[in-house]
Amino acid sequence: MSSKAFRTLSNGNKIPWIGFGTADLVDTGTALYGRSADQSVSAALEAGFIYIDCAEMYGNEASVGQAIKKFLSSPGISRDSLFVTTKLDSLPSGKTVQDSIKESLRKLQVDYLDLYLIHTPVPHQGRLKEVWKQMEEVYREGLAKNIGVSNFRLKDFAEFIDSVEVVPVVNQIEFNPYLLKATEPLLALHKKYNILTMSYGGLVPLSRKTGGPLDDIIPTIRERLSKDTGKQVSDGQVLLKWLNAHDALPITTSNKKDRLVNLLETPDLPDLTAEEVEELDEAGKKIHHRNYMQHMER
């Protein structure tokens, strides 16, 4: 990837601008939740993805690890050429964050994680200060180079953010134009603490929520970009450019190699104009639609 295909986290570490997700991301019709992800992850790596996002909750860390092992065994490929993320699930009595991350590392067949996230605050309500302190410990031990959270609301941050020694570098949330209005207060908190917004479900308006006010706008922007560049621009690339305009890093997935390659070419396209971003913003705010993690509504 070129230098413009990386972002810089608040601690100065680099992160690829896009990640390949291994959950049930229904916006692309790819269901890897609880299933072997070996073949799909291998295809993504072959297409050019270097950021792989998985989770203990998905039940497929071991198969993701098989794909990672094969990739890292290729000539000239080193561990630092890959960015691997997984996420902490619940913590049964007697189990620590260190126990959990070590089990994930064993399954993924790597010595460290590039990013470790608390998957959801729900199992840890009332204990977020304690759990985050344990996250800080695995960070200091070098088991994770970066730590962050996922699916956290304003009230979840309020429970622990003022007591942290290491600020979460990211919050991974469902985010697309149909969630912009509901997410704006959270985006403001991200900006205050220099927390990167990471988006899953960013392409939902193209699949699970078609027929909405974006349907007539996205093709017009796509045609403008195609005309200006002489390239065949996709609707997915338009939404990735919208996410970029909102300083959000996308996590996406697909079983189609040509689609993966197309998405990876997005940084080479011109940015959306301020007018195009505003038009997508205003259209998105006309409806509210959330596919995942319904606790975010409460």
Catalogue the active-site residues. Answer: 58, 119
Helix 61-72 with 97-108: angle, nearest 10 deg: 50
Instruction: Tell me the sheet residues that pair with 24.
Output: 31
Residues composing the chain: 298
Tokens of 297: 């509504």
Distances (CA, A) of 246 to 23, 129, 223, 264, 272: 23, 29, 21, 18, 11
Sequential DSSP letters for 135-196:
HHHHHHTTSBS-EEEES--HHHHHHHGGG-SS--SEEEEE-SGGGHHHHHHHHHHHHHHTPE
Closest to 122 in 3D by CA, of 96, 89, 148? 89
